[in-house]
Structure 1
Amino acid sequence: MKNFELFLSEIGISIFYVKIGLGFLFSFLITFFSIPTITKISRRKNLMDEPGVRSSHMRKIPNLGGIAIFYSIGICASIFAYELFDLYKFLFASLVILLYIGVMDDIVVMRAYKKLVAQIVVSALIVTGSDIRIRSLFGIFGIYELEYVVSIIFSIVTFIILINAFNLIDGIDGLAGGYSVICSALFGISYYRLGAYNYPLVVLSVIIIGAVLAFLYYNLSNYRANKIFMGDTGSMLLGFLLAFTSICFIDIFIDKELPNVPRYHLQAAPAIAVAILILPIVDTLNVIIVRLCNKKSPFDADKNHIHHKLLRLDLTHRRSTFYIITYYLFIVVVAYYLRHISVNVLLLIIVALGFIGAYIPDFVYYLRNNKK
């Protein structure tokens, strides 16, 4: 690879752009050509998602699409963003553990506590082993630099919350996948603007986009034989990777004495990261609050998620996904233009807009029923 990079530099071609192009192409193609085989095996072995209480579909659908996403990201990231695996020693191991747990849950349905233990192990590996952690809150609630132990615990909890939050929004066609593409694109653009030191993270973001776009081709298909879900395998994998990229994003803006690494500072960095991931964060918080107010367990399944509320308005899966992603992209735009105001004020605005978006469908539903 190094000889190839030297050859490209001699003829005036940037290896970074070659990695971007090939990473996207191969990640897309690997996922695209893997899914039909996975679908065929799933149907033959009856490895299907059964409609349940929270389900928004009425028939059995293969749910092992996450395997193709892992396969694609695992191969392409190891080739085109190999620097990440040198820098973060436990990254690939964490992905493999999540693959195993996800596949087991998609096939035999694991108990919640077993999944939680696995998520704690994975999060602890990446936080302590690779030192991917939230070191500062940049003045949120008056808190700046975190003590090491507090930083470790807070970072592990953040990983676990985001992994499960992405699992919860995977309830209608295209939502988890489409939102992952948007988040990866936003983080990728941010990393690109922040300089060459972050280019491996740009390549990783592009690889995720390629893999998920190929998955969405089948997930949004109207042809029943092609349709597939990403399952817990895909949602946990994407939740973990987006938690990883968001914490890396926050970490960029912390003043660190590293040789040959440019320093940046953006006081609102944590708020920007929250804005990008606002949908799973707000959706999870909202359903937990609703369940507690109704004196139910936070872990009880129900249909209080944002996507369920839009389906109640007789919208299709595609239209619901489009509306949700469009609204939460609006929040990102607001956060970007207000990025230089107080981080506490910005965070309050972002969270408030997030919850407003969660209750707009309820308001529309109320108005519609009152007119009848």
Structure 2
Amino acid sequence: MFETLLENFTPEKNITIWLIVAFVLAFLIAFQTFPTILYVAKEKHLMDEPDSRSVHSDKTPTLGGIGIFVGLIVVMTLVGAFLNTKVLLLVMGGLTILFFLGLKDDLTVLSARKKFIGQIVAASLLIVFTNTRIIGFSKILDIDVLPYWVSVGFTLFVYILIINAYNLIDGVDGLAGTIACCISAIFVYLFVNSNELSLATIAIALCGCLLAFLRFNFSKTNKIFMGDTGSMIVGFLLAFFTISFINMAQLDKSSAYFKASPALAFALLFYPLLDTLRIFLIRVVIHKTSPFKADKNHIHHKFIKYGYSHLMTTVLISSINVVIIGIAFNLLHLNLNTQIIFLMLYGSALYTLPFLLKKIGNK
């Protein structure tokens, strides 16, 4: 009976049930994994020591990425027989490369060069073997289709940018996890509408893993950080979702996002990209130091400095990002260049608003 059920089951005809099962399975696996990670980290003294940049005063494990990785890999392995095996295997390969690099960095120290090389290899696997790449600029600055190797190079740059931009926002309880969970949920909607069930399944599995992680990341007694392991694999998946979405839209002239996918992708990732651009300008132009030198000039650090709690900082930043995404969906009818200009204006204004309100309230 069970064998007959499996033979007759098709995810495409049971999308809602399929996605719920993938979400619940990912959540439960990750949720059951985190207590073990916490126990081992405490027993073996694998804890993060607070330093001058830390916004925490207690030693905390930074191995949350292990739980996220385990949840994702188990779900993708179990569902692989029903979906696009090639894509799932390549994603799992990329995740595994970044997982071990991130784990080494969390446990010892890994040079930026080795992490950079690992990110290039992981991204190249998907770009080359699935041909999933940004094929053009959709008339941004009047640039349309790119030559193949320029397209590959630009797509690789986008991967590296998103992975490292996401890593930079992991500095306040719940912020990186909440931002990624919201973005992934939007991608579930976009992929389901595009009949890309394999991608929707990975995205909703990531949501499940992240919700389980947030339960512990917000905890006062059993806190765990995402670490480089988590930030790299989550950033990698967000980059993969972004590039896959743009690629699908650019290849389908009937898509509602055919001419607007770059602007919508920019809106989804607006906060990490804005923070990265801002921090690089501060370091290079104002402080005249290396753009890779760590400091406390991130937007989330500024929220903390202005008196917002970790929770309120996460809620405000995440809420603003959701509002930005909502506005972007309602501007899809505009010219793409106009959408991007408006996005930069209203996005920057919205992230300035909490500081203005705080100043007014303190008067």
**Distance across 2 between alignment mates of 1:139 and 1:3:** 51
Summarize deviations over 1:65-110 as a string: whole Å, max 9, x none: 1001000001102222553432465222111000000100111121
Q: Structure 2 vs 1, CA of residues 38 and 278 (structure 1 numbering), >3 Å: closer, same or farther?
A: same
Equivalent of residue 242 in structure 1, options 198, 219, 238:
238
2:170 touches 2:231 (CA, 8 Å); kept in 1? Answer: yes
Distance of aligned partners of 1:89 and 1:68 in 2 relative to their CA distance in 1, 3 Å threshold? closer
Q: Which residue of 2 aligns with 1:284?
A: 276
1:311–1:317 Cα contact (<8 Å) kept: yes
Q: Structure 1 residue aligned with 2:302, among 309, 316, 319?
A: 309
1:28 is displaced (CA, Å) by 0.5
Give aligned pairs, total.
360
Change (3 A) 1:130 1:265: same
Contact 1:89 1:130 in 2 (8 A): no
Per the alignment, do residues 2 and 358 of structure 1 end up closer, same or farther by CA in structure 2, a change over 3 Å counting?
farther
SS in 1 for 2:138: strand
Judged with a 3 Å threshold, the aligned counterparts in structure 2 of structure 1 residues 110 and 143 are, in CA distance, closer, same or farther, namely same
Between the aligned partners of 2:29 and 2:280, the Cα distance in structure 1 is 37
1:229 aligns with 2:229: no
- 2:43 alignment counterpart: 44
In the aligned structure 2, how far is the partner of 1:48 from the partner of 1:3? 49
Separation in structure 2 between the aligned mates of residue 278 and residue 125 of structure 1, nearest angstrom = 26
Q: Tell me, what secondary structure is at the counterpart of 2:137?
A: strand
**Unaligned 5+ runs, structure 1:** none
Q: Secondary structure at the match of 1:254?
A: helix
2:176 is matched with: 176
Matched, 1:54 2:58: no
Quote the offset at 1:365 in angstroms.
6.0
Unaligned runs of at least 5 residues, structure 2: none
- Farther-moved stretch of structure 1 (93-102 vs 107-116): 107-116
Q: Distance in 2 between matches of 1:124 and 1:13?
A: 29
How far apart are 1:351 and its partner, in Å? 2.1
Q: Which stretch shifts more, 30-39 or 111-120?
A: 111-120
Helix, strand or coil at the partner of 1:90 = helix
Q: Counterpart of 1:220 in structure 2: which amino acid?
A: F
Could you say which residue in structure 2 is the equivalent of 1:135? 135
Structure 1 residues 52-201: aligned runs within 5 Å: 52-81=51-80, 83-87=83-87, 89-194=89-194, 196=195, 198-201=196-199
Give the AA of the match of 2:275: D
Whether the aligned pair in 1 keeps the contact of 2:317 and 2:351 (CA below 8 Å) is no
Question: Considering only aligned residues, what root-mean-square deviation do their CA atoms show, in Å?
Answer: 2.3
Q: Post-superposition, which runs of at least 4 consecutive aligned residues in structure 1 deviate over 6 A?
A: none
Is 162-171 or 88-97 further displaced after alignment?
A: 88-97
2:327 alignment partner, one of 330, 334, 343: 334
Distance 1:316 1:73, change over 3 A: same
Q: 2:38–2:61: 8 Å Cα contact kept in structure 1?
A: yes
Q: Is the 1:167–1:239 contact (alpha carbons within 8 Å) kept by the matching residues of 2?
A: yes
Q: 1:16: Cα distance to partner? A: 2.9
